[in-house]
């Protein structure tokens, strides 16, 4: 499953590293691509949006309300 979130308060690469490190600590996340202002997280489906919000808050930032989750289908 892939979840994309917009993140407020990020302005530099230090912010990106802080959010990436916080997300990496969440069980169930297999990949996180973090950019200034957003993150795309691939996970096993057990990760909730609240868990993502909490991890981003630990890094000192906040998740905007426009959170989208969708299941990616494998290519055959």
- Tens-digit pLDDT profile for residues 38-70: 999 999 989 999 999 999 999 999 998 656 666
Query: Residue 52 has what pLDDT?
Result: 94
CB 65 within 8 A of CB 9: no
Cα Rg, the chain, nearest whole Å: 12
Name the token pair of 70. 């969708």
Query: Residue 32 has what pLDDT?
Result: 95
Helices first, then strands: H and E counts in the chain: 2, 5
Q: What percent of the chain has pLDDT over 70?
A: 84
**Which secondary-structure segment (H or E) carries 24?**
helix 13-24
pLDDT band at 1 (very low <50, low <70, confident <90, very high): confident
Which residues pair with residue 38 across a beta bridge? 6, 35
How much is the mean pLDDT over the chain?
Answer: 89
The one-character DSSP state at 26 is S
């Amino acid at each position: 499953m892939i979840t994309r979130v917009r993140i407020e308060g990020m302005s530099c690469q230090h912010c990106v590293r802080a959010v990436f490190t916080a997300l990496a600590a969440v069980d169930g996340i297999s990949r996180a691509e973090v950019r200034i202002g957003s993150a795309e997280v691939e996970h096993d489906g057990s990760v909730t949006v609240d868990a993502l919000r909490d991890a981003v808050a630990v890094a000192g930032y906040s998740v905007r309300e426009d959170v989208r989750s969708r299941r990616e289908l494998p290519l055959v």
